Amino acid sequence: MADEPLVLGIETSCDETGVGIVRGTTLLANAVASSVDAHARFGGVVPEIASRAHLEAMVPTIERALKDAGVSARDLDGIAVTAGPGLAGALLVGVSAAKAYAYALDKPLYGVNHLASHICVDQLEHGPLPEPTMALLVSGGHSSLLLAPDITSDVRPMGATIDDAAGEAFDKIARVLNLGFPGGPVIDRLAKEGDPNAIAFPRGLTGSRDPAYDFSFSGLKTAVARWVEAKRNAGEDVPVRDVAASFQEAVVDVLTRKAVRACKDQGVDHLMIGGGVAANSRLRALAEERCERAGIRLRVPRPGLCTDNGAMVAALGAEMVARNRPASDLELSADSSLPVTDPHVPGNHDHDHDHDHLHEISKENLYS
């Protein structure tokens, strides 16, 4: 629909420079430039390398997205950007770029929450989100259960990891098994050839007195590392595929068990799963199996929309425009620890005098 908001979204919270363009809930472009190869030899993301890669990729990625969408920057109804949480330096690159484009084009700016964006992206795949939405977000930096009565203004944390995130655990176990970085895809692939019941690895925080919705993967990571070390010290071969399958099963068992429980407890008849680990094939399969058994509808975006991308930011930005949420002002700053309870950052609109002064500056100066 031509009257739906046309929004460009910028995502730079970690190592992907993502630029997406949506019209309402229709995806027009999803351009991503990843610096993951530059981090591989370090076994994890190096913030300074990520920030520099964002600087180099930003303008070309925006231009590619506009070309893919077949629109002009002047056609946009707004520009959305991840304001947090994430790596501080990486976020600053995206926020600075978004403010520059918003100012140069005289378009409203929307600083949005990375986690809320991961939920909202499902609208591009399966249509408008039910209200409330129960979401399980699992990635390298986050493992969270969230209840969202209104994705633009009301997101409530139900549970979260108290130590390692699920994706972080995948990366660390991949390092233990000498499988390289990132660990998620290779463990998923090898696990298909292994026995998920070969090794009884622990399920963290699943006792009767443990928090119902919180997660812990540090103990599991340690248990796997010690098991592998014992095998090596004994001069025995490590059954890598069985270790991968058993470890993966322990992670997805806990994730899906707690997510389904939260849905039942809160009377929500559907579950959305997002974040990079949502691309894991076993997580998808077990979630589908358990949701079907519990009478819960499962919504999982395709893998390309689960990992960090600009489309998810644009999707939430378009929802902000559609619901007439206040735009952010040009004092918007990056917040590496932005709480999920802040789906967007409207900014401080008490600085009208400062804005009047800014708008007295000729926009031609931006191109000089």
Peptide bond into 149 cis (omega under 30): no
138 marked as part of a ligand binding site: yes
356 marked as part of a ligand binding site: no
152 closest CA partner among 78, 243, 208, 219: 78
Question: 239 in helix, strand or coil?
Answer: coil
Strand partners, 6: 23
317 closest CA partner among 14, 56, 27: 27
Alpha-carbon distance of 138 to 307, in angstroms, equals 10
Those residues with Cβ within 8 angstroms of residue 121's Cβ, 6 or more apart along the chain or in another chain = 274, 301, 305, 309, 311, 312, 315, 316
144 marked as part of a ligand binding site: no
Q: Classify burial at 219, counting beta carbons within 10 Å of its beta carbon; exposed 0-12, middle 13-18, buried 19 or more.
A: middle
140 marked as part of a ligand binding site: yes
Question: 11 in helix, strand or coil?
Answer: strand
171 marked as part of a ligand binding site: yes
Question: 202 in helix, strand or coil?
Answer: coil
Task: Work out the angle between the directed axes of helices 240-266 and 183-191 (0-180°, nearest 10).
Answer: 100
Which amino acid is residue 82, in one-letter code? T
Which tokens hold the place of 197? 């019941």
Alpha-carbon distance of 104 to 35, in angstroms, equals 28
332 marked as part of a ligand binding site: no
Contact 51, 87 (CB under 8 A): yes
141 marked as part of a ligand binding site: yes
218 marked as part of a ligand binding site: no
255 marked as part of a ligand binding site: no
126 marked as part of a ligand binding site: no
Binding region: 114, 118, 137-141, 171, 184, 188, 280, 308
Annotated binding site for substrate: 137-141, 171, 184, 188, 280
Binding residues for Fe cation: 114, 118, 308
